[in-house]
A and B are shown apart, each in its own frame.
Chain A
Amino acid sequence: MSISTRFWGFFGRNSAKPETDARCAGLGILVAFLAPALLFYAGFAIYPVIRTIYNSFHAIKPHGVVEFVGVSNFTTLLFADATFWKAVGNTALFTIVATILDVFGGLLLALCLFARAPFAGLLRVVWFTPVLMSYVVVGVIWVWIYDYDWGLANAILRWLGLGAFEQSWLGHPSTALWSVLGAHVWKWLGFNMIVFLAALYALPGEVLGAAELDNCGWVAKLVYIIVPMLRATIVNLLVLSFIGKMMVFDLIWIMTGGGPLWSTETVSTYVYKRAFEWNTFDLGYPSAIAVLWFVIILAFIAVMTQLLRQRDKLEF
């Protein structure tokens, strides 16, 4: 018996013909192929989650010393941490508004391209390009756009004779969050547009054709045919967008660092500050924030999918 035969004999059920049917692979083969991915996943996803949950019930002291503190991190967080609640409010506002703008803005852009607007090819590239940029680049660009003295936003206002409305867009609590939100939406609109565009082209042509034969107008076609048929795509994008925005960090960190006066502080930036900028090595409290936020996101996702679930299967 050759070395090769014996090797496959150990790993496969059918030692003579290991290549015949992958579904007949033995446990050894399955373990060999799955182990690297599973180990990677366990090491970089599951372990950190478990460790964060563990840390949230402990005070982490230097040199690996941990002290069990029960739920005290959570009670402090819930009842004595005003900054946390400010961050929750900002994150909620940011998430809701940005999700709606992202998803429905993306749908509008996709419809525009689907309807073969002039320069559709060029517009598709222009609208999608921001998706390819990193948050750092987007942040730096928009900080410049919003600059009071030499920024494009105020320059346009002055050019239009609306100089009275010029602002320190990122420097005032009443405009900072909305300004960051604008930059975020600008970055992600194109992604949703492409997904919707793919879904629109996948719609059955005969249904849309039948609607046109029945003299169905554009609005009616959109409301009664296209949107219902895109429901699954809309729900998926809403959920994905919602999750992403609940964890927003990069753009805010680059553009405002959570200021001015905590007006753009989000839960993620607050976790980072508590972990790395508060003159402490204790990761227990920041972990508690992360765990609580994880539970809240999970609950929202469950509620959203339940509410938006497709109850009747569409037939076409």
Chain B
Amino acid sequence: MHASFAMRCAAALGLVASAFIGGAATRATAQDVTLEVWSHEADEPAKVAFRELAAKNLEKSRPGVKVKITWYEKNPLFAALKTALPAGKGPDVFYLEPDQVEYITAGYIIPLDDLVNWNNIEPWARKVWTHNGKTYGIPQEAYTNELFYNKDQLKQLGVTLPANGQLTQAQFLDLIKKARAANVTPVSQGVGDRPYPGAYIVGEALLRKLGPDDYQKLFTGKLTFADPRVVEVLKWVKELVEAGAYPKNFMTLKLGESHYYFYSKPGSVMLPMGSWYTGRAFVPEEKGGQPANFPIGIMQYPAMDGAACNDCKTSAIGASFAINAASKQKELAAAFLNAMSTPEMGKMWIETVYLQTGIKADVKNFTGPHAAYFTELMDRQKGAKYFIGSPRDMVTGECKDTFIQVLNSGFPGGLLTVDQAVQMMNKSCYKG
């Protein structure tokens, strides 16, 4: 009896096991390679649609392949990656930005030189991701630092821009004072949830004053913040702050709120922001976008007195994608990167996201409701000498933390004198 019970149990177990194994085998033959992708920017519908389309295109071209995109907010994404990758886990492809060089030095992402079709990528954009002769990321989003303004507000203040759209530093200070006198916030900006917006004006001013080489030296610890040119720029920014350039809630105003502040309530004259601003602003008004008839314009950041390069401006790479070194499907992962980087996709990016891209795209005539905006954006690029990379791409560790606390928030927030800012930045950043 015992023997027969045991045999029955064994037979039952065998049946159950074979059912599982059989089922699994059936499934495996019918499908199913899943490519895991972790992406930021779930709150930007145009970018979501762009990446979902690339996933669908890949799935169409490779039957049996499924691309699973998991959407994150930026900080949780990077926290998840920093625990998953050291454990040898994580997605096959993930969102990354060029300042995150630690992924390269740690060997958690692989060189893409032989995997990706670089003919579809702008060489200058590729260069941003090139370290020691190898390229580690596919640059999808490119942007320039722009100074957006409300054309109606500027007219009401009686200020006319020169043809090149660039005021002098004195004229800019005067504009700030005029706006304050008219009880209008001059510059909408906040650092409540981002480590960089407060440094737009000071960063662009430093770039123009110092020129690209010394600017790079400054943020890589080879030039002191006590340099007289740097001090001059900081003194000018301090004048702007004291003239009331920024909102009173500058320290807590969040990125999205600063956009709303600019184009809606209470309204401001200017908004310094990356050109990716439109990815958020050109969504329908009922979804939080700017009103369709909002009179947006783009001016150049002010020309600095005695500047080394007043035509200089920052261009940077934002959203990029890399391949996990632990991925078992590197070729497929590269195919997904290629699927996002065709000229057709590049065209779609420009026409739907209204933003520059590192993908080569032949777009000569802009159409659609925001064509005038995009034409103006391109006009503002004429004659520009680009510095590729923003300060936060160049600083790391303690210097990065100090940059966030001092140049991004404390100094433009009016909490520090020029001397204090110089001293704090030098202490953490200057290696001379």
A contacts, CB < 8 Å to B:
3, 60-64, 83, 143, 146-149, 151, 168, 170-173, 257, 259-262, 273, 275-281
Q: List 25 A-B contacts (CB under 8 A).
A: A63-B86, A143-B252, A148-B247, A149-B247, A149-B249, A149-B266, A168-B250, A171-B413, A172-B415, A173-B415, A259-B410, A260-B405, A260-B413, A261-B410, A261-B415, A273-B401, A276-B78, A276-B82, A277-B401, A278-B398, A279-B99, A279-B100, A279-B102, A279-B396, A280-B102
Nearest A residue (CB) for B103: A281
* Inter-subunit contact B107/A170 (CB<8 Å): no
* Inter-subunit contact B252/A62 (CB<8 Å): no
The verdict on B201 contacting chain A, using a C-beta distance below 8 Å, is no
- Report the bound CA distance from A276 to B416 in whole Å: 27
What string of 1s and 0s marks CB contacts (under 8 Å) between B97-119 and chain A? 00111100111100000000000
What string of 1s and 0s marks CB contacts (under 8 Å) between B186-203 and chain A? 000001110000000000
A261-B416, A278-B396 known; A62+B409 contact, CB < 8 A? no
Nearest A residue (CB) for B250: A171
Secondary structure at chain B's binding surface: helix, strand, loop or mixed?
loop
Set of chain B residues within 8 Å of A64, measured between Cβ atoms = 86
* Inter-subunit contact B396/A260 (CB<8 Å): no
Secondary structure at chain A's binding surface: helix, strand, loop or mixed?
loop
* Inter-subunit contact A146/B252 (CB<8 Å): yes
- Report the bound CA distance from A89 to B73 in whole Å: 32
- Report the bound CA distance from A149 to B265 in whole Å: 11
A3-B5, A280-B397, A281-B86 known; A260+B251 contact, CB < 8 A? yes
The verdict on B30 contacting chain A, using a C-beta distance below 8 Å, is no
Set of chain B residues within 8 Å of A63, measured between Cβ atoms = 86, 106-107
What string of 1s and 0s marks CB contacts (under 8 Å) between B233-261 and chain A? 00000000000000111111000000000
* Inter-subunit contact B252/A168 (CB<8 Å): yes
What string of 1s and 0s marks CB contacts (under 8 Å) between B402-430 and chain A? 00111001100101100000000000000
- Report the bound CA distance from A147 to B261 in whole Å: 13
The count of residues in chain B whose C-beta lies closer than 8 Å to any C-beta of chain A is: 37
Nearest A residue (CB) for B406: A261
Nearest A residue (CB) for B248: A148
A146-B252, A173-B415 known; A279+B86 contact, CB < 8 A? no
* Inter-subunit contact A62/B415 (CB<8 Å): no
- Report the bound CA distance from A273 to B79 in whole Å: 10
A171-B252, A276-B78, A279-B101 known; A260+B401 contact, CB < 8 A? no
The verdict on B400 contacting chain A, using a C-beta distance below 8 Å, is yes
- Report the bound CA distance from A261 to B402 in whole Å: 8
- Report the bound CA distance from A260 to B249 in whole Å: 12
Number of interchain pairs (Cβ within 8 Å): 90
* Inter-subunit contact A83/B401 (CB<8 Å): yes
Set of chain B residues within 8 Å of A172, measured between Cβ atoms = 251, 415
Which residues of B278-301 have CB atoms within 8 Å of chain A's CB atoms? none
- Report the bound CA distance from A133 to B287 in whole Å: 27
A64-B86, A262-B405, A279-B101 known; A170+B106 contact, CB < 8 A? no
* Inter-subunit contact B401/A278 (CB<8 Å): yes
Set of chain A residues within 8 Å of B249, measured between Cβ atoms = 147-149, 151, 168, 171
* Inter-subunit contact A260/B415 (CB<8 Å): yes
Nearest A residue (CB) for B427: A82
- Report the bound CA distance from A64 to B105 in whole Å: 14
* Inter-subunit contact B415/A281 (CB<8 Å): no
* Inter-subunit contact B251/A259 (CB<8 Å): yes
The residue in B248, B396, B398, B416 that gathers the most chain A C-beta atoms within 10 A of its C-beta is B248
Which residues of B81-101 have CB atoms within 8 Å of chain A's CB atoms? 82, 85-86, 99-101
Set of chain B residues within 8 Å of A147, measured between Cβ atoms = 249, 252
- Report the bound CA distance from A60 to B413 in whole Å: 37
A184 smallest CB distance to B (angstroms): 17
Contact among B82, B191, B251, B400 for A281, CB-based, below 8 A: B82
Nearest A residue (CB) for B411: A261
A181 smallest CB distance to B (angstroms): 16
- Report the bound CA distance from A187 to B105 in whole Å: 43
- Report the bound CA distance from A168 to B5 in whole Å: 77
A3-B5, A147-B249, A172-B415 known; A259+B409 contact, CB < 8 A? yes
Set of chain B residues within 8 Å of A279, measured between Cβ atoms = 99-102, 396-397, 400
The residue in B106, B107, B247 that gathers the most chain A C-beta atoms within 10 A of its C-beta is B106
* Inter-subunit contact B250/A62 (CB<8 Å): no
Set of chain B residues within 8 Å of A173, measured between Cβ atoms = 415
- Report the bound CA distance from A143 to B252 in whole Å: 8
A83-B401, A259-B405, A261-B416 known; A62+B396 contact, CB < 8 A? no
A63-B107, A279-B396 known; A149+B248 contact, CB < 8 A? yes
- Report the bound CA distance from A280 to B399 in whole Å: 13
Set of chain A residues within 8 Å of B397, measured between Cβ atoms = 278-280
A3 smallest CB distance to B (angstroms): 7
* Inter-subunit contact B400/A275 (CB<8 Å): no
What string of 1s and 0s marks CB contacts (under 8 Å) between B361-373 and chain A? 0000000000000
* Inter-subunit contact A278/B86 (CB<8 Å): no
Set of chain A residues within 8 Å of B415, measured between Cβ atoms = 172-173, 260-261
- Report the bound CA distance from A222 to B397 in whole Å: 54
Set of chain A residues within 8 Å of B410, measured between Cβ atoms = 259-261
Set of chain A residues within 8 Å of B400, measured between Cβ atoms = 277-279
B242 smallest CB distance to A (angstroms): 15
Set of chain A residues within 8 Å of B105, measured between Cβ atoms = 62
- Report the bound CA distance from A63 to B99 in whole Å: 21
Contact among A3, A62, A277 for B106, CB-based, below 8 A: A62
- Report the bound CA distance from A173 to B409 in whole Å: 12
* Inter-subunit contact B405/A281 (CB<8 Å): no
A143-B252, A149-B249 known; A281+B106 contact, CB < 8 A? yes
A278 smallest CB distance to B (angstroms): 5
Set of chain A residues within 8 Å of B416, measured between Cβ atoms = 261
Set of chain A residues within 8 Å of B247, measured between Cβ atoms = 148-149
- Report the bound CA distance from A262 to B5 in whole Å: 71
- Report the bound CA distance from A1 to B249 in whole Å: 80
- Report the bound CA distance from A171 to B102 in whole Å: 31
Set of chain B residues within 8 Å of A148, measured between Cβ atoms = 247-249, 252
Set of chain B residues within 8 Å of A171, measured between Cβ atoms = 249-252, 413
